[in-house]
Amino acid sequence: MSRVESPRRFSDSQGHPWVAVDVVIYTLGRGRLECLLVQVKEGPFAGKWAFPGGLVGAEESLDQAAEREVYERTGVKNSYLEQLYTFGKPERDPATRVVSVSYLALVAHREVSLNPASKYADIGWFPANRLPRLAYDHDQVGRLALRRIRSKLQYTNIVYSLLPSEFTLGELQEVYETILHRSLDRRNFRKKILALGLLKRLPKKRRGTHRPASLYAFMKRRQMIIEMV
């Protein structure tokens, strides 16, 4: 997390630990699952990469702070967001005592407009399964987030957060194969996905160099518990 914010705004007179959020933001780009990292600008981890985050404002809930961080870094509002875990070891930040609540966020790549602002030295997308050594305890945060998204992809419909409003079944299958890192049988995948009743077929096709492909959309773009793959 960044230390740019003034500590006087976020600590109390009793000297209790500051409360922060750190957000693991995933998207699909260049045919792979990518994760957003920021370069720490100041402090003992200056120059290292980390997940974007910051201290929670006095008038914010944890969710609101995480939503704000996603919006400020990517320009995306109403992204898929869920709480992962609370990290609170006293030595996690050598500069001061901070308890951090980690979050997982999913954004569609075409909606993103990156903005490091003055808070960080740099910002960029990295392959989710090949991240550099990270600052603080973010290596642990990253492993947890990657396990969570791969797990939830199999029993929920959160894949909608990574896709545009219209997509082909081939594109949908590619998302699953990219994140799960394994191949899926084309016929069985399409049969099961269509049988779930989550998609509606649109009255148009995607035309290109190959055979025209039917376009689909999710009937509901909200999280549902359902066996997907």
* 87, 108, 137 - which closes a domain: 137
Tokens 């490091």, residue?
A: 116
The rounded distance, in Å, linking the Cα atoms of 65 and 151 is: 25
Q: Where are the beta strands (DSSP E) in the chain?
A: 18-29, 32-39, 49-50, 53-55, 80-87, 98-106, 122-127, 199-206, 213-218
**116 and 202 part of one domain:** no
In angstroms, the CA 31 to CA 37 distance is 18
Full domain range(s) for residue 195: 158-218
Tell me: do 168 and 74 sit in the same domain: no
Report how far Cα 91 is from the mean position of its chain's Cα atoms: 26
148 occurs within a structural domain = no
How many whole angstroms separate alpha carbon 158 and alpha carbon 151?
11
- Shared domain for 97 and 196, answered yes or no, is no
Cβ(27)–Cβ(162) under 8 Å?
yes
Q: Is residue 145 part of a domain?
A: no
As for how many domains the chain has, the answer is 2
* Model confidence pLDDT, tens digit, residues 17-45: 899 999 999 999 888 999 999 999 998 99
Q: Provide the b/e sequence for 77-113 (b: ≥16 CB within 10 Å).
A: eebbbbebeebeeeebbeeeebbbbbbbbbbbbeebe
- 132 and 164 housed in the same domain: no
Beta bridge partners of 225: 156
pLDDT band of residue 4 (cuts 50, 70, 90) is very low
CATH code where residue 205 lies: 1.10.10.10
Domain-located, residue 2: no
Do both 41 and 72 map to the same domain? yes
Prediction pTM value: 0.89
Q: Each residue of 57-111: pLDDT tens digit? A: 999 999 999 999 999 999 999 999 999 999 999 888 888 889 999 999 999 988 8
Any domain includes 168:
yes
For residue 228, what pLDDT is reported?
Answer: 79
CATH number of the structural domain spanning residue 123: 3.90.79.10
Asked if 97 and 17 count as a contact pair (C-beta separation under 8 A), the reply is yes
12 and 89 part of one domain:
yes
Q: Does 191 map to a domain?
A: yes
- Asked whether residue 182 is domain-assigned, the answer is yes
Distance CA 205, CA 220 (A): 21
